[in-house]
Structure 1
Amino acid sequence: MNYLRMFALSLFAFAIAPVLGSEELGPIKVYILAGQSNMEGKAKVSLLDYQIEQPATRELFQHWRRDGKWLERDDVRIKFFDRAGPLTVGYGSPKCIGPELEFGTVVGNHFSEPVLLIKTAWGGRSLYRDFRSPSAGLPTDEVLQKILAQQQKKTPAATLAEIKISFGNSYRAMLAEVKQTLADLPAHFPADAKQGYEVAGFIWFQGWNDMINAEYTAEYSTNLQHFIRDVRKDLNVPQLPFVIGQMGVDGVNPSVGVQKFKAAQAKVLDSPEFKSNAALVKTDVYWDQDAAAVFKKGWKEHVAEWNKVGSDFPFHYLGSPKTMLGIGHAFGEAALQLRESANK
């Protein structure tokens, strides 16, 4: 894949982004980035620091670098729980990047208005249980009793009420984080908050915990459709553009289990109600083959080589900065295409 061509316009657009007075601008564009660990982002900044200096990779990241320092974009700000500020490197998991960096580049270059990214992501969360939205309802009593029995082996005092309330915990926490951040908009854009805001899109990058459970996978399409409807209802944006990041672990030739899960994700768009306002982004095409090759032959036995290409395990896309930037770029392009289609 020619990453250099992919990002060539990013550098140019970053340099010529328009500067307008706030009186000429529309509402602040808000994008919600939600999911689990891969939305958090596990590509280490230390690897990014190395790759920005290498002839083969530096052009991928150079639009984020000036005078030997990582840039900060005042026109694109990010809120990731207890961290907030101008978009720059390090807004993934601690000392890591995720899709937010290049996503913010794409949408920030597109809009004259300021952009706010609200990231709500936690590792190890399922759509079946943690992100389960209200209209999906609860599983059957039989399933709930089975879960209770399993929990009582660890915590004898566990109750059925506690099991029930655990369903949707992350969904509720996500909404609370989004609504609180929007209520605090002046803290993020002191000079521009009077413009108001527009929730312009929702990016969903999640799936591992549902993929490794056959029962969860079987319900994924239905649960995600409920999720999209409920997000739109709870945020009061009926046609909110919704981007789904399709599972891409192991690249374009994954195991049967991954293929089944990818099919479940794609099935969501079979519904006519989502065809024009939701998009599926294939992340498998951004799988880092160089990092995968070193990991496969034994990263522990080739640490020096590994530290030049990867920084985490395959389920975290090998901690590849190239992969995270590719995915973020694709998410941004998909979000803007949905917006363009809606405005025709």
Structure 2
Amino acid sequence: MKTVIRLAATAITAFSFHAVSAAGPLKVYILAGQSNMQGSAHQHTFSALRDDPATAGLLDVVLNREGDPVVCEDAWITYRTGGRDGETVRQGKVAIGYGFDDQRIGPEYGFGIFIDHAIDEPVLIIKTAWGGKSLAVDFRPPGAGTYQPSANEIERGNVPEVESVGHYYREMIRFVQSTLRDTEGLKKLVPTYDASQGYELAGFVWFQGWNDMCNRHHIDQYTDNMIHFIRDVRQQFDTPTLPFIVGILGVYGTDPDSRKFDKGLPVSEFRKAQFAAVQQYDQYVAARFRGNVIAVDSGPFYDLQLSDIYWKRRLTGNWKQRVKQGQMTPETFQKECDRYGFGDGELTAQEQSIWDRCASNAEYHYLGSGKTFIRFGKALAEAMLQLEKQ
């Protein structure tokens, strides 16, 4: 069975809280992808949840009585990532700090909180995410075969090195396997882990896409690559029906073509390629690998009001610089502001307040919005729990 899920952005499901328990095997969830799986949302943006009556209740879930971000009672995480400082592994209870830095979150925070609330077994999230990576090259699964460069890559001498193709797929698999094979390490990380009960590989969440979306050659092969990826992961871990979620790129919302900005990016076309992988998956894999694959759209959780402010800041800032350098006249500046509805080009006091409280990064990182990442993480948890019931 395959399903496309577009969970309502404002829906808040009641989860039952449970006492810490070691009942049953350790439930292991793998989260993987690129920078938006890493996560850019700074904790200071959480308060934006209170601005909307439909989401205000979530603030009571993610903040404790003292007003600090909660730390999960029975959900842990081990997180491998990389950046300018090289490869790092962070681990502990699910909390703030498993995003870009120790003040930020990705989807794992909302996912971990709501999975922890919903089940009695101890939970371990194994997260691997590296920024700026493609499925076509960096995470290329074995089943997709040898990477065939485009004519443009050949002409420019920009063909990926053979050893780089699939490198992060292999690193992801290696990190998951080494974590699960290390019984003593699991006991140290998860104090309630009972080796006699063992663990259950309970689900996989994939959230990635920006780098493939920016490359026409990669878009053309994304559907096939994603189908191979899902099947190869299941085969690698010998779990043919492992519940699998494809997080759909949702920058600019569910209808990117209706936006006034960044019209040159083929976001809608790329989203179709992602959805197609889920819709077509069962047609191209052996019977034992079929089913339990769904798509969860991040588009409903993208903050379009915040995006408008982002683009007003970005465009008017660029135009002001051009005026200062004599490359644009003040009259043309105002004409451009009128064209986009930017008034005199200055942020209003209300816009500045919204930006300061709600944003902490750029549009391709979902504006670093805690409101977005928490709700999307919750949606992923709801979808995973739905899959597990099937």
The TM-score range, normalised by the shorter chain, is 0.7 to 0.9
Distance in 1, Cα, partners of 2:292 & 2:56 = 35
CA deviations 1:221-252 (Å, max 9, x no partner) are 10011111111111111111110011101012
Q: For residues 55-76 of structure 1, give each alpha carbon's deviation from its aligned partner in whole angstroms, at most 9, with x where no partner exists.
A: 8665322212222332211300
Which residue, 263, 269, 284 being the options, matches 1:260? 269
Q: Contact (CA 8 Å) 2:201, 2:242: kept in 1 or not? A: yes
Q: Return the alpha-carbon distance in structure 2 between the equivalents of residues 319 and 145 of structure 1.
A: 32
Q: Secondary structure at the match of 1:226?
A: helix
CA distance in 1 between counterparts of 2:372 and 2:149 reads 42
Q: Distance in 2 between matches of 1:321 and 1:178?
A: 27
Find the aligned partners of 1:138 and 1:144 in 2 and give their Cα distance: 17
- Residue 165 of structure 1 is aligned with which of 144, 163, 166? 163
1:267-305 Cα shifts (integer Å, max 9, x gaps): 112232577310011111111123123213226654544
Query: Is the contact made by 2:241 and 2:291 (CA closer than 8 Å) also made in structure 1?
Result: no
AA aligned opposite 2:32: A
2:113 corresponds to 1:88: no
Larger helix share, 1 or 2:
1
Aligned CA RMSD, in angstroms, stands at 2.6
What SS does the aligned partner of 2:358 have? Answer: coil
Query: What is the alpha-carbon distance in structure 2 between the residues aligned to residue 104 and residue 329 of structure 1?
Result: 8
CA drift of 1:321 comes to 0.7
Say if 1:27 and 1:198, in contact at 8 Å, map to a contact too: yes
Comparing 180-189 with 312-321, greater Cα deviation is found at 180-189
The sequence identity of aligned pairs, in percent, is 38
User: Is 2:136–2:225's contact at 8 Å kept on the other side of the alignment?
Assistant: yes
Aligned to 1:156: none
2:312 aligns with one of 279, 288, 297: 297
Maintained 8 Å contact 1:60/1:322: no
Distance in 2 separating the partners of 1:253 and 1:146: 34
Matched, 1:181 2:230: no
Deviates more, 1:295-304 or 1:274-283: 295-304
Scaled by the length of structure 2, the TM-score of the pair is 0.76
Match status 1:203 vs 2:205:
yes
Deviation at 1:215, TM superposition (A): 0.5
Matched, 1:288 2:303: yes
Paired position in structure 1 for 2:362: 313
Quote how far apart the aligned CAs of 1:93 are.
Answer: 1.0
Unaligned residue ranges in structure 2 (runs of 5+): 1-6, 81-88, 258-264, 318-345
Letter in 2 for 1:27: P
Mapped partners of 2:244, 2:269: distance in 1: 22
Counterpart of 1:185, as a letter, is L
Structure (1 or 2) with the larger CA radius of gyration:
2
Write the distance in 2 (CA, Å) between the matches of 1:2 and 1:166: 39
Among residues 341, 360, 376, which one is paired with 1:327 in the alignment?
A: 376
Query: CA 1:189–1:257 in structure 2 vs 1: closer, same or farther (change >3 Å)?
Result: same
How do 1:1-344 residues align onto structure 2 when only pairs under 5 Å count?
Answer: 6-7=11-12, 9-10=14-15, 13=16, 16-20=17-21, 22=22, 25-48=23-46, 50-51=47-48, 59-66=57-64, 67-81=66-80, 82-94=89-101, 95-140=103-148, 146=154, 149-150=157-158, 163-182=161-180, 183=182, 184-194=185-195, 195-255=197-257, 257-268=266-277, 269-272=279-282, 273=285, 276-298=291-313, 301-302=346-347, 303-341=352-390
Query: Does the C-alpha gap of structure 1 residues 138 and 55 become closer, same or farther in structure 2, counting only changes over 3 Å?
Result: closer
- Partner Cα distance (1:141, 1:63) in 2: 47
Give CA deviations for 1:133-189 in whole Å, capped at 9, x if unaligned: 1111112488698289337xxxxxxxxxx8111100100111111112212322212
CA contact (8 A) 2:208 2:247 kept: yes
Q: 1:197 to 1:297 in 2, by over 3 A?
A: same
Give per-residue Cα distances to partners, 1:99-140, cap 9 Å, x unaligned: 111111221122111000111011100000000011111124
Partner of 1:154: none
Whole-Å Cα distance in 1 between the matches of residues 152 and 200 of structure 2? 39
Unaligned runs of at least 5 residues, structure 1: 152-161
Give, as a single letter, the amino acid of the residue that structure 2 aligns with 1:42: S
Q: Deviations over 1:296-315 (max 9, x none)?
A: 32266545441122111111
Give secondary structure in 2 for the equivalent of 1:294.
Answer: helix
2:356 aligned partner, one-letter code: N
Question: Are the aligned partners of 2:48 and 2:371 in contact in 1 as well (CA < 8 Å)?
Answer: no
